Chain A
Amino acid sequence: MQKFNKLKSIPAYLPIVNIDTDMIIPKQFLKTIKRTGLGKNLFFEMRYDDQGKEVNDFTLNQSPFNNSKILIAGKNFGCGSSREHAPWALLDFGITCVISSSYADIFYSNCFKNGILPIILEEEKIKELSEYANRKEEISVDLEEEKIIYGNNEITFQVDPFKKKCLLEGLDDIALSLKKTDKIENFEKDLINKKPWIFND
């Protein structure tokens, strides 16, 4: 997994609440058997018209937002389907940090597995940061320090210490868990005695 530490970008702002994962990447693109190549279809239905042409009004089609690495959006971002294609599409487009006042649980967890930092901020702060998108000015994100720096201001944010460590070091979850194989084996031995039906039938 790609490490995440510091990031500087003009943020893109989508002032829509409850952006669901169907919106982020619609079902016709879930037929892939790969993780890559989904960026061009990110927000497909809003981004392209019926003829497949880019919709000029849509933020991510406009310069400099077509190069934004930071996406600011309304609350409950990533609700609905568990599809990890949603963070894959964001990542492939180049977005590695999302800022919202809340996220759906599965999407939130999926971000961390892909080197994307989802930041939670209060609505007021979101409005403040969105001004930087309107003015096309850069903001900086520092995960180590848990800070967003914009103009002469900074905002701190919080992130789970274990998730932070995994992002900073780009750690592979599975390798970490496999280090606990002894514990898994002990649990399984115990399980066979306590609940034999789990394995037997």
Chain B
Amino acid sequence: MSTTLYDKIWNDHLVDQQDDGTALLFVDRHLVHEVTSPQAFEGLRNSNRKVRHPNLTLAVADHNVPTTDRTKGIADQESKIQVDTLEANCKEFGVQLFGMDDKRQGIVHIIGPEQGFTQPGTVIVCGDSHTATHGAFGSLAFGIGTSEVEHVLATQTLVQKKAKNFRINVNGQLPLGVTSKDVILQIIGKIGTAGGTGSVIEYAGDLIRSLSVEQRMTICNMTIEGGARAGLIAPDEKIFNYLKGKPMSPKGDNWEKALNYWNSLKTDDDASFDQELNLNAGEILPMITWGTSPQDVITIDEKVPNPQSESDEDKKNSIERALKYMGLKPDMAAKDIKIDKVFIGSCTNGRIEDLREAAKILKDKKISSHVSAMVVPGSGLVKEQAEQEGLDQIFVNSGFEWREPGCSMCLAMNADKLKPEERCASTSNRNFEGRQGRGGRTHLVSPGMAAAAAISGNLDDVRKYQN
């Protein structure tokens, strides 16, 4: 029978299947961070259980870490306790940890690929919804809750039911200044935040194949914002070249064996999907979000919606609520939205190519005098690479702050946060109420668009600044 890439990975990881379809799936790679793991380790301790495969588990502190000078440690006591608890748990249970002083430290979804821990055809889980990022490598990667983290630690398996197959084909070429962030925002705008619920999305088409590994990660990363459990892309030469020689990638004979297997990882030509969506890349424009849900997207040339023109009562109410929270007027032009802050970073857009894209726009320019802006590289290695290329100097010269790696203002668990009513152009993934700080207002954009907004002082068209 013809199968999809998701079917193949699923079938290859079945440890057991009950008659009602409930399956026990083997987990090849488990990423752990400080926020969603303490209760899981405590559960193990209380039940006298061990971590079944510490060598298939990799831990890092990312959500709570300060992005300013780290020599002083963490000032916030609760954050410090959480990071210290992770260290103690990793030591007790024999799990490898990239500590706060390790230059490999960074956002969990950035370090996995960087180290070659993320590999095609694997099942990868983490107590974090953006685990979908790793699907860019042709792995089945999804976020889980803390009880499930404990389950994976104890058994190296997970109880799951098969999801539906959903394919999104993107063909054609992206116009100048349009990036994979705009592609995924466009997709979420089309399917809605619940459009992928119960499904695993495979991204296909010649546009997807033409994207770099890092651009693919941005797309898979925000799959969860479309409600799908996981998003994946069939692995190809770009992926294999990216992984070759990475510290945790297969070596020698194993590399050849792995490559042989990885080459088999694709959807059969005649496989069927429960749902399909086709998009023309040529029609995608630079996007922004105007509201408090990632589905609230418009292009930079459009206007904020007017609730009066919405007939559906639920939609009307939710537009009104979002406009009120965001402090926007109906029918206001996107380019008239003045901003206070710019945040470049996160597991969505905190990689080296993202920083290059923003730096290209900012070179020899100054940010607007009323804007404060910061760059938070996704990992210590991204930071190091950017500094070697002189990107840090471009950012600093334009007026940005250059910070230490972590999740930072994507969710504002550390000291980096918006004040009430402050408005931010952000390369992160969620514009929920209060996400970047109580009362803070978030507009999701690509790194180039964030740079353009910083220069103009309002949301603006990145194409204006393209050389």
Contacts and interface: CB of A to CB of B under 8 A. Distances in A.
Interface of A: 15-18, 20, 22-23, 26-28, 30-35, 45, 50, 74-76, 79-84, 87, 102-106, 109-110, 113-114, 160-162, 173-174, 177-178, 180-181, 183-184, 187-188, 191, 195-201
Interface in B119-159: 119, 122, 127-129, 143-148, 150-151, 154-157, 159
B194 A30 contact: no
B164 to A, nearest CB: 11
A198 B39 contact: no
Interface stretch (B243-251, B274-282, B345-353, B365-373): B243-251
Contacts of A103: 197
Nearest to A23: B433
B47 to A, nearest CB: 7
A17 B312 CA distance: 13
B413 A31 contact: yes
B193 interface: yes
A191 B26 CA distance: 10
B239 to A, nearest CB: 15
A52 B161 CA distance: 42
Nearest to B413: A27
Given A34-B39, A79-B194, A178-B155, A18 B293 contact: yes
A188 B227 CA distance: 32
Nearest to B47: A174
Given A45-B433, A197-B258, A201-B250, A82 B15 contact: no
B406 interface: no
B147 A110 contact: yes
Residue with the greatest number of chain A CB neighbours at <10 A, chosen from B194, B254, B317? B194
Given A104-B197, A197-B257, A109 B38 contact: no
Contacts of B413: 27-28, 30-31
Contact of B154 (A16, A87, A174): A174
B430 interface: yes
Contact of A75 (B24, B28, B35, B194): B194
Interface string B297-329: 000000000000000001001100100000000
B151 A104 contact: no
A74 B193 CA distance: 13
B433 A22 contact: yes
Interface string B245-280: 000111100110110010000000000000000000
Interface in B389-427: 411-413, 420
A92 B225 CA distance: 27
Contacts of B82: 31, 33
A199 B53 CA distance: 9
A177 to B, nearest CB: 5
B30 interface: no
Interface string B51-81: 0110110000001100000000000101101
Contacts of A197: 119, 250, 254-255, 257-258
Nearest to B82: A31
A173 B39 CA distance: 15
15 contacts: A16-B321, A32-B38, A34-B42, A35-B146, A84-B147, A105-B227, A110-B147, A113-B145, A173-B151, A173-B159, A174-B155, A177-B154, A177-B155, A177-B157, A184-B15
A74 B312 CA distance: 14
B5 to A, nearest CB: 17
A82 B224 CA distance: 10
A160 B227 CA distance: 20
Contacts of B261: 195
Contacts of A27: 411-413, 435
B101 interface: no
B22 A162 contact: yes
A102 B432 contact: no
B318 A18 contact: yes
B81 A33 contact: yes
A104 B39 CA distance: 22
Nearest to A15: B317
Given A105-B198, A173-B159, A187-B15, A80 B250 contact: no
B250 to A, nearest CB: 4
Contacts of B47: 174
Contacts of B20: 160-162
Contacts of B241: none
B36 interface: yes
Given A173-B151, A201-B250, 19 more contacts: A20-B293, A23-B434, A31-B76, A75-B194, A80-B129, A80-B430, A80-B432, A82-B144, A84-B146, A102-B197, A104-B194, A109-B148, A110-B147, A161-B20, A173-B159, A174-B49, A177-B151, A177-B157, A177-B159
Contacts of A201: 116, 248-251, 254
Given A27-B413, A82-B144, A82-B145, A183 B150 contact: no
B323 to A, nearest CB: 15
Given A80-B430, A84-B36, A201-B249, A106 B28 contact: no
Contacts of A76: 193-194, 197, 227
B18 interface: yes
Given A76-B197, A183-B15, A113 B81 contact: no
A177 B151 CA distance: 8
In the complex, the 6 A-B pairs of residues with the closest C-beta atoms, listed nearest first: A197-B250, A113-B147, A33-B38, A31-B78, A110-B145, A84-B145
B104 interface: no
A89 B131 CA distance: 23
B166 to A, nearest CB: 13
Contacts of A74: 314
A102 B147 contact: no
A192 to B, nearest CB: 11
A194 B329 CA distance: 60
A106 B194 contact: no
